Amino acid sequence: MATATTRRCGFAAPARSRRTCRSKPACRFWPSSAPSSIIWPAAPPRRAARRRRRWWWPGWQRRGALPDSDAARARSPRRSRRFTVLLPVLRPPWFLPHAVRSVLGQTVEDLELCIVCDGAPPETVAAARDLAAVDQRIHVFRFAKGERHGEAHRAAVLDGARSRFVAQIGDDDLWYPDHLAVLARLLARADLAAVCQVRLMADGVVRPVPTFSSLADPHVRERMLSQTWNFFGPSEAGYRLAAYRALPVGWSPAPPDLFSDLFMWRKFLRQPDLTFASRFAVTSLKFGAADWSATGPEQQAAIIAREAALLHDRTRRDEITRIARDGVDVSLRAEPTLRARLLRPFRTALDAVRT
């Protein structure tokens, strides 16, 4: 074995790893009379640089993920907000800008709008990203087409939410400016809340859902659990994020013979420790696809644009509210038992005030 050689500075270097350096400058540790040929130890071998693994490696493809899918980003935590608003979209962006503007025009400004592109065409994704470039509260998530209405994508987006309340709007629906404010007041004392659903038909006729009921009534909840019956949709509902995460299963594809929203509401209604509330308030407009099947998208977009311009018109809103109230009164007169149950809490409150 080779022995070490000691130099003037007292440094010992193994003979087998010596290398010669003729350009070492003079310093205080080396006298000026030092020989010009100095032996320095060899540098340790460099470790091979680890090759960075790209995120689209084949293992992702084997697990079913797509390069253009935002599944991982959707589940990453986002900024804390008061409301998380889901906006699922599948079709071309005919009506998307109007729905987005009605959300951003809410009196409750502390919100995030998550546009969930469920296999939407590229022009829809591009339009959504253009809207997100204008307002930082908008997040766009692109997914491949999911089962049924892409309910699993909504669950993925809610995994990364850090808000207190959750609401949802269809890409062809509109909200009045105080929609989230009304829901927030209801959700202050309830885990699931809803307002009145009003449909606008293709011929301009306002058609309310005549079976508006009270979610606080156990008979109404039992009817929703036992029958294929519902009186509000996702655009009229809101729920606490904590209550949603306490459910055994969140958003998931519904059976073929059941409405997707009713399938979700039943998960809340089965929990005995949750509270429920509803209020007869016209805070949204629904343009159902079944009601517009004979109307082209250009005509439907024109009607939605006209109603979007009237969201701040109090006269128009009062007219729609009056029509909705008349429709509910007709249905209550046809069902005396339901009318009596709905009026019982009001009569109890009135008696308490009189005494």
Whole-number Å distance between alpha carbons of 237 and 167: 6
pLDDT band of 105, cuts 50, 70, 90: very high
pLDDT digits (tens, 9 = 90+) for 13-42: 445 444 444 544 555 544 555 555 555 556
Residue 14 lies in a domain: no
Residue 99: CATH number of its domain = 3.90.550.10
> Of 247 and 343, which is predicted with more confidence?
247
Measured torsion, CA atoms of residues 240, 241, 244, 250, in degrees rounded to the nearest 10? 140
Mean pLDDT of 276-285: 93
Quick one: how far is CA 55 from the chain centroid? 24
Residue 337 lies in a domain: yes
What percentage of the chain exceeds 70 in pLDDT?
69
Asked whether the predicted pLDDT for residue 85 surpasses 70, the reply is yes
pLDDT band of 302, cuts 50, 70, 90: confident
Asked whether the predicted pLDDT for residue 47 surpasses 80, the reply is no
Residue 10 lies in a domain: no
Q: What pLDDT shows up at residue 299?
A: 83
Residue 219 lies in a domain: yes
pLDDT band of 5, cuts 50, 70, 90: very low
User: Where are any strands of DSSP class E within the chain?
Assistant: 4-6, 12-14, 18-21, 38-41, 83-89, 111-118, 138-143, 165-168, 174-175, 192-195, 198-200, 206-208, 237-240, 276-279, 284-285
Residue 240 lies in a domain: yes
Whole-number Å distance between alpha carbons of 347 and 345: 5
Q: What pLDDT shows up at residue 251?
A: 94
Asked whether the predicted pLDDT for residue 185 surpasses 50, the reply is yes
Task: Name residue 226's amino acid.
Answer: S
Q: Which domain holds residue 136?
A: 66-344
Mean pLDDT of 238-243: 96
> Of 66 and 102, which is predicted with more confidence?
102
Mean pLDDT score across all residues of the chain? 79
> Of 171 and 80, which is predicted with more confidence?
171
pLDDT band of 289, cuts 50, 70, 90: low
Whole-number Å distance between alpha carbons of 50 and 39: 33
Give rounded-to-5 percent helix, strand, coil for the chain. Answer: 40, 20, 45
Residue 79 lies in a domain: yes
Asked whether the predicted pLDDT for residue 309 surpasses 70, the reply is yes
Whole-number Å distance between alpha carbons of 283 and 207: 14
> Of 178 and 348, which is predicted with more confidence?
178
Residue 24 lies in a domain: no
Mutual angle of helices 297-308 and 96-104, in 10-degree steps: 20
pLDDT band of 270, cuts 50, 70, 90: very high
Asked whether the predicted pLDDT for residue 67 surpasses 50, the reply is no
Residue of 89, 95, 230 lying closest to 168 (CA atoms)? 89
Residue 195 lies in a domain: yes
Mean pLDDT of 271-280: 94
What total of structural domains would you count in the chain?
1
pLDDT band of 324, cuts 50, 70, 90: confident
> Of 331 and 146, which is predicted with more confidence?
146
Q: What pLDDT shows up at residue 18?
A: 46
Asked whether the predicted pLDDT for residue 336 surpasses 80, the reply is no
